[in-house]
Chain A
Amino acid sequence: MRAFVDLPIKHKLTLISLLTSVGALVLACAGFVGYEQLRYKKELIADISATAEMVGYNSTAALSFNDPTAAEQTLQGLVVKPQIVAGFVYEKDGKLFATYPHGKEPGLAAPPPPAETVRFSGNLLEYSRPIVSSGETIGTIFLRVDDRLMRERLNRYGLIGAVVLAVATLAAYLIATRLQRVISNPVSELATIVGHVAADQDYTVRAARRGGDELGRLIDGFNGMLDQIQARDAALQAARNNLEERVVERTTQLQRENSERKRAEEALQASEAFLQSLVENLPVYIFRKDDSGRFTFGNKLFCDRYKCTLAELLGKTAADLLPAAEAERQEEIERQILADGKIRETIEERTDAEGHTTFLQMIKVPVFDRNGVCAGVQGMFLDITERRRAEARLAEASGLLEAMLENSPDFIFFKDRASRFVRFSNAFLRRFGLEQPSQLMGKTDMDFYSSRHAQAALADEQAIIHTGHPVVDKLEKETHVDGRVTWVLTTKMPWRDGKGDIVGTFGISKDVTELKEAEDKLAYERDQLRALLDSSPDTIYFKDLQSRFVLVSRSKVRTALERVPGLRARRVSRGLPGEVLESELLDGLTDFDTFNEADARRAFDDEQRIIATAEAIIGKLEKQVYLDGALRWSLTSKMPWRDREGKIIGTFGISKDITDLKETEEKLQQVHRQLMEASRQAGMAEVATGVLHNVGNVLNSVNVSATLVADLVRHSKAANVAKLAVLFDQNRGNIGDFMTKDPRGQMIPDYLGNLAESLDAEHGKVGAELDNLRKNIEHIKEIVAMQQAYARTSGVIETVSLPEMVEDALRMNAGSLARHDVSLQRDYAARGVVTTDKHKVIQILINLIRNAKYACDETGRTNKQIIVRTANTRQGVAISVVDNGVGIPPENLLRVFNHGFTTRKHGHGFGLHSGALAAKELGGSLEVFSEGAGRGATFILKLPYKRDEPDARPS
């Protein structure tokens, strides 16, 4: 090793190169050969494995179906792989199944295991693997391979490696001996130069430069080192030469400084005088203390403050001038200054004996002695009480403003002369959706509103700046940039600085958008109401708690103007202004000013009840008489008028004038009455006809009787009596002879006897006829009396027997029924009494019976029959008139009660109509049933037991 260290560099380099090359080559060859052997072995096994698998697979069927011949045929395929010297297939249980070549013995002690196995045995490789079919091992294949080829290859590689190594070593030596010069030459050259410098102290020589590698840099560094040494050597020489010149120069400079100092001293004196004057004349308290806290100086102001002379002050301490605590504090400060030499500036609050507080701005500085050591403290202070107070006031004002800007919900803003925002309330900032004051600062209205509004506002503000007049409570419509519209009530004022100059404007705005919108809505609603009040033909009114008109529809005012003379004068008399708009004419007046006392009182009472009970009056019919006497009917609804809290503050109502309607109704009623009357009269006429007919009939009898009597009388034998009298007179003297002798006289007694008998009979006949006559006349009297009774004015409510009443009606028709050969059947189930208008009922019944009779007549049948039936119902009685006449077809059933409906040639068509109306009037009803044409009809009059009191309706 020692020997190697001492070897010249060029030999070292050659040796290193050579060893490196050969070493690398040997390792490469060894690796290559080793790798090749491994790879070959692996390939061989892979090849054999694949072959075995293939043969095995192809043997599965042969194994499965136990066909060794087929298996050997398959194994025969191994002939293409010469390195495989033998192959065997075993069954699952280890029995030899097939061999290759045919008949070859495996030469194994035991059958190969049914698993993949590789084994090298001498020059042979033995390989076995299982034969698997459907996941089941059904046999084993075993192959034997000769690996001689592999070893031959390995030997060949070894030989090639040896030859390559020999050639490479030779080549490496040749190259290394040449290339080592590149390094070894410059190194030996440098070594020569170093030797020269060290020996001769010659710093001027330089090594030659060779390229930029480490050697090049080493040479450069070496040359640089020589450069520096050479320069330093020269500089040392120059400095030595320079020193003398500099000593002379310094002497001159010192002399100059001396004269300058003298001048400075003079200046110092002047400056001290100046200082003295400053100290004594400035409005500043100045004092100085030594390091033990004793005063060494105080200016006049200071001395005056503490009421002593300078001489008295000297030697005193703070404790002599100030309260103890304060003095202690000051001295503490001063001790600190003495300790650290730093200036202290404080604000002192002093309260004197009288309780006045003063503020002092105190500056204390250390005083240094000539040696720069702290020798005392100098203090100066100013009385800043006034300033402090002003500041406090200002701060307070400022704080108030801040608080206001911070919290006021109003928009407060300050603008400069160019109308740029300078200060503003938070509410104002938030109004634009901004967060930071900086976002609004310096902006103008132009940035947030439509240009129109912004320009108007700008004009306002410029006017304020020029004239100084504020704009107070101006309602402004603001259109924002996004189109939103808001309303504000703004007051703007000039903003003046301390000198009274206008520096801008400030203002306060209140957002009244909601108010404005509410107002607009209110106005809209008011307009709607006004339109209603102006146009509605109905009377609409609002009244206060005292029923005084508050709001009235125009129609009402018009009517009042028409009906109430001197309405304006009336207003004045009530203490109300007379000259008002037409629509307000009634305002403040009451119903008492338009209607008569009673009607007004009724309305007033209604309204007071509504106010008391909160119950509305709906659809009430009101009769009102105006002061001019005009009567008006109206249909009125009145309701409580509530304010927004729900409190009743009056009433309001709607009235519809239904006077015309009412009049029409009246007329209708009248017509109805007339109709009724006509009907009744018609009924009476009918009755009269019946009566006359009856009377006529009776008169016939009377006539017959009278004629009979007359005949009887005319042909009476009474005349024979006269003849007898004549006979008797002629034979006056000889009555006896005559009577006895004369043959005529002899006949007279018999004749007289016969005559007496005859006359007696005659007398009887006449008496009977006269009796008949009297009876007939009595009958006529009765008929007439009945008619008179019927013709009496109806409307009397009386309690009558139901059968009697029905009988009365029948009696009226009895004659006509008999005439028309209609049999009448009575079936009176109800035998009570009813309280009703008898004559109306009879009239209805007469009508019904008559109709029944006609109906029967029209059939032309012989068994014409009418049944009159009475029955009790739950509410009253039912009187049915049943006929077997022509009947009523269904289409006419509904029309029979119609006015003017008739099926008879001479019918007037209101018999049933008036009957139905009358029944209704009596609180009952008139109904009809018929099974159709030709099947008869039944009319039923239903009446209550007791007629209810007629209602209040005028009728």
Chain B
Amino acid sequence: MKLNQLPLHKLRELLHKKEVKAEEVVAEFIDQIEKVEKEISAFITLDLEKAIEQAKTIDQKKEKRSLAGLPIAIKDNISTKDFRTTCSSKILENYIPPYNATVVEKLLSEDAIIIGKTNLDEFAMGSSTENSAFFPTKNPWDLTRVPGGSSGGSAAAVASSEVPAALGSDTGGSIRQPAAFCGLVGLKPTYGQVSRYGLVAFASSLDQIGPLTKTVKDCAILMNIIAGYDPKDSTSVSYPVPDFQIETKKELRDLRIGYLEGEILKNVDSEIIGLYNETLQRIEKAGLKVEGIHFTYWDYALACYYIIAPSEASSNLARYDGVRYGFRVPHYKNLKEMYTKTRTLGFGPEVKRRIILGTFALSSGYYEDYYLKAAKTRALISQEFNQAFQEVDLILTPVTPEPAFKFGEKLDPISMYLSDVFTVTANLAGIPALSLPIGLTKNNLPVGIQIMGNFFDEGKILQLASQIEKEVKFNQYKPKLN
């Protein structure tokens, strides 16, 4: 098997044992990028020469750090010093951050190689990468379909073996939905578990950074590095970070598992329901206690999310005015016109839609009816999860109502928003949730299952994920591309 096909932990083992050199590893990934990137379009910016240089330097070092010589891709809304960070927006097309995000610093301090920045829906607003101001990314399993979004570039890069792992961000499902569409493991950690210093803000009460990988073990390895308190992020939580790799190996026996039931599953694709039920049966067979859980407020989560997220976005995106950074129109009469023209030309249609929607929900006369009502609903959703986690340790749901859809299939914004129905609740409640591949549809499209846990229960989530992974053996499937 070629090196670039191996999961991160296997490559890491080979590198640590000095059976391969970082330079060889990087060269194989570059070879793959050169072969497939034209078709996939996962990256906005690549720095292959620097990657080779870094690999050579790492090969000279005696001490092998945790990620020594492993190329990692970073979603292009996470700041990288002296490396263009665009958010897939014209307004930041030429923005070069003067600093690294904390997660990037942490990866670099373990000698990871940042090989490039991946495509996303503009400012992470979307579920397909079709909202990128530059180009859409294709799904390696079927080039006529979307890779999901907004972390679609990160997911496609890993699924097509251009990199062994990537970082994404998740505001309403932006790591988990592309992970499901591309057959990967994607984790949205507990709110506050991973520093967001350097993540370009979309909706600050919902955003989290997390890994996209080929295996559960790879996810645990990256979480061990990126999790933890950061004084630079005021929402970062001081909570002891366990060794996630050890957590992953723990015995499952005592876990109580809940699964989502009710009307909400009626609109889910039948093949997804089939694989979902099959997985529940596997878990029961393994001797775990499984019970159905009904959520009263889940039905209201999307409406709640599509008020809160745009409201926060309208406020966060007010900073793009053509003054301190980013695009500025060349001609204007006065300051107000400079702001307005810059923003009008700089933002794409979905971003403008959400800014206006958020402005509406926060505006005088509507605030109580919209924003405040959504905030209250959010509290109810959160309380319902608190109650559920008194009965069970983990909750299972599908990740998406359907497998990867075709380009241009969801032109109506609401139909696109509906694909977040199972994922937004974790962001609203601040809890961790992971997407794990559990099989393929008849059309060879990956299907995922979502495992949700209580605050800081990433360890338990990874335990169950690891068990299911062993039984499903999803790694036997590869996109045709490879």
Pair from one complex = no
Q: Which residues of A line the B interface, CB within 8 A?
A: none
Q: Which residues of B line the A interface, CB within 8 A?
A: none
